[in-house]
């Protein structure tokens, strides 16, 4: 099967006990059933602790409830007792895969290193080169894919090429990114997914009159504040973002962030047909991270917090996709008006 990931993927190494923001704190550790049942058979003191800690959560899944905000098996050196005593293979699927988001599309597989992970975050923002997504083959056989996946993948390639055209101001690129997604959504709504590939290669940028009215902020920050949170100070940061004057971010690094989100999210439209909503999610992420950079103390920390609070919650992602067509302050027109505020000043 063909695998694809960002060009820094194979440079990643877990920082383990040296990580400044361990993934074993703040998140309840959910166990796959196979691992949980195996833990019930572990002998000795570790087995006794495992059996005393494992519980079923509200969804009926096995989990390790946090103690003082930390996994009960995270020791004083920020190392996992299970890993130390039984080996990495004995940890749960969640623990073994983090910080990887793995999407299997049948014909190929894509892997994203979550920017909520400090090491992955540093790799993403540690280069000013155009972000690329090379592929490699493994021995696992591919499966049949959705018939319009090929066209959707071609469309994403075109959308990534728009994002990485550094001859154009970033906000104009983000506008074109959304305009192409908007036109493609029309094809999907008309069940013409097979035409996405043709659109990818024939689409041309167009003039846009987004009319009068508000931009995306502060409405977007208030919508994010209403979502579920892991850490309560996230809401404080969002409120401070409302009160802080916007500052232009580093376009090269913001471009890399945009490509990160586009690679991770756009093809997931194959599951429900909502390409435009996912394109809006990508742009919202870029603009919110830029907006929160001054209050978070830097671009990397703003990105890490956004990914931790939003991108790691399927409930929050689903709520945002629904909000884009339900709430006027997150409408496509508000996106276009927000983006037009600065890019017109940059155009000749």
Whether residue 299 is contained in a domain is answered as yes
pLDDT averaged over the chain?
A: 92
- Are residue 54 and residue 161 in the same domain, yes or no? no
Question: How many folded domains does the chain comprise?
Answer: 2
Q: What is the pLDDT of residues 283-296, one digit of tens each?
A: 999 999 999 999 99
Residues 326, 187 share a domain: yes
Q: Are residues 63 and 182 in the same domain?
A: no
159 and 305 together in one domain: yes
**pLDDT for the residue 348:** 39
Give the integer Cα–Cα distance in Å for 295 and 290.
10
Residue 275's closest CA among 149, 113, 129? 149
Together in a domain, 204 and 83? no
The reply to whether 1 falls in a domain is: no
> Could you tell me the pTM of the whole model?
0.93
In a domain, residue 12? The reply is no
**Residue 158 shares a structural domain with residue 47:** no
Using the 3D structure, point to which of 36, 68, 97 is the last residue of a domain. Answer: 97
pLDDT tens for residues 158-205? 999 999 999 999 999 999 999 999 999 999 999 998 899 999 999 999
pLDDT-derived band at 347, boundaries 50, 70, 90 = very low
Q: Dihedral, CA atoms, 122, 125, 131, 134, nearest 10 degrees?
A: 0
Q: Is residue 3 part of a domain?
A: no
Does any domain span residue 265?
yes
Q: What is the pLDDT of residue 55?
A: 87
**Residue-wise burial string across 246-257, b where 16 or more C-beta atoms lie within 10 A, e elsewhere:** beebebebbbbb
Query: CA 211 to CA 198: how far, in whole Å?
Result: 30
pLDDT at 343: 54
Query: Quick check: 121 pLDDT over 60?
Result: yes
Q: Within this chain, do residues 77 and 156 fall inside the same structural domain, yes or no?
A: no
Kindly give the pairing relationship between strand 2-5 and strand 108-113: parallel
The tokens describing 260, both together, are 């990160």
Residues 6+ apart with CB under 8 A from 130: 164, 166, 255
Q: What is the 3-class SS of 190-214, one letter each residue? A: CCCHHHHHHHHHHCCCCCCCCCCCC
Task: Report the pLDDT value the prediction gives residue 342, as an integer from 0 to 100.
Answer: 65
Q: Domain residues for 225?
A: 149-346
Q: Judge contact between 289 and 101, C-beta under 8 A.
A: no
Q: Is residue 13 part of a domain?
A: no
One domain for residues 322 and 191: yes
* Cα 77 from chain centre: 29
Mean pLDDT, range 98-107, rounded to an integer: 92
> Does the pLDDT of residue 313 top 60, yes or no?
yes
Which of 127, 120, 125 lies closest to 15 in space, CA to CA? 120
193 and 272 co-located in one domain: yes
- Does 235 map to a domain? yes
Please give the Cα distance from 59 to 35 (Å, whole number).
Answer: 17
What is the crossing angle of helices 332-346 and 275-296, to 10°?
60
Whether residue 325 sits in one domain with residue 179: yes
Report CA-CA distances (Å) from 150 to 58, 104, 288. Answer: 39, 14, 31
Last residue of a domain, one of 65, 97, 129: 97
87 and 211 assigned to the same domain? no
Is residue 18 a part of any domain in this protein? no
* Secondary structure of 8-68 as H, E, C letters: CHHHCCCCHHHCCCCCCECCCEEECHHHHHHHCCCCHHHHHHHHHHCEECCCCCEEECCEC
pLDDT digits (tens, 9 = 90+) for 246-261: 899 999 999 999 999 9
Residues 53, 32: Cα–Cα separation, whole Å: 15
Assign 150 a pLDDT band (cuts: 50, 70, 90): very high
């Amino acid at each position: 099967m063909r695998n694809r990931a960002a060009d820094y993927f194979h440079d990643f190494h877990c920082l383990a006990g040296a990580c400044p923001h361990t993934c074993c704190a703040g998140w309840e550790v959910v166990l796959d059933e196979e691992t949980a049942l195996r833990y019930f058979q572990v002998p000795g003191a570790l087995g006794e602790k495992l059996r005393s800690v494992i519980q079923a959560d509200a969804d009926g899944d096995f989990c390790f409830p946090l103690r003082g905000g930390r996994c009960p098996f995270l020791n004083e050196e920020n190392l996992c007792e299970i890993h130390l005593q039984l080996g990495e293979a004995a940890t749960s699927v969640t623990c073994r895969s983090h910080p990887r988001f793995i999407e299997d599309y049948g014909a190929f597989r894509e892997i994203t290193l979550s920017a909520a992970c400090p090491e992955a975050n540093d790799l993403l923002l540690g280069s000013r080169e155009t972000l690329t997504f090379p592929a490699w083959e493994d021995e696992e056989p591919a499966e049949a894919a959705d018939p319009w996946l090929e066209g959707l993948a071609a469309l994403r390639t075109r959308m990534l090429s728009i994002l990485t055209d550094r001859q154009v101001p970033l906000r104009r690129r983000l506008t074109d990114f959304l305009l192409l997604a908007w036109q493609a959504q029309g094809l999907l709504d008309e069940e013409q997914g097979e035409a996405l590939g043709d659109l990818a290669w024939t689409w041309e940028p167009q003039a846009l009159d987004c009319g009068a009215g508000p931009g995306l902020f502060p409405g977007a920050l208030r919508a994010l504040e209403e979502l579920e949170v892991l850490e309560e100070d996230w809401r404080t940061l969002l409120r401070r973002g409302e009160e802080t004057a916007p500052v232009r971010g580093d376009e090269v690094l913001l471009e890399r962030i945009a490509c990160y989100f586009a690679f991770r999210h756009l093809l997931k439209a194959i599951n429900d047909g909502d390409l435009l909503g996912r394109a809006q999610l990508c742009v919202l992420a870029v603009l919110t991270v830029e907006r929160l950079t001054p209050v978070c103390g830097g671009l990397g920390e703003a990105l890490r917090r956004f990914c931790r609070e939003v991108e790691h919650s399927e409930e929050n992602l689903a709520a945002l996709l629904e909000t884009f067509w339900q709430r006027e302050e997150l409408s496509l027109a508000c996106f276009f008006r927000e983006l037009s505020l600065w890019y017109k000043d940059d155009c000749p």
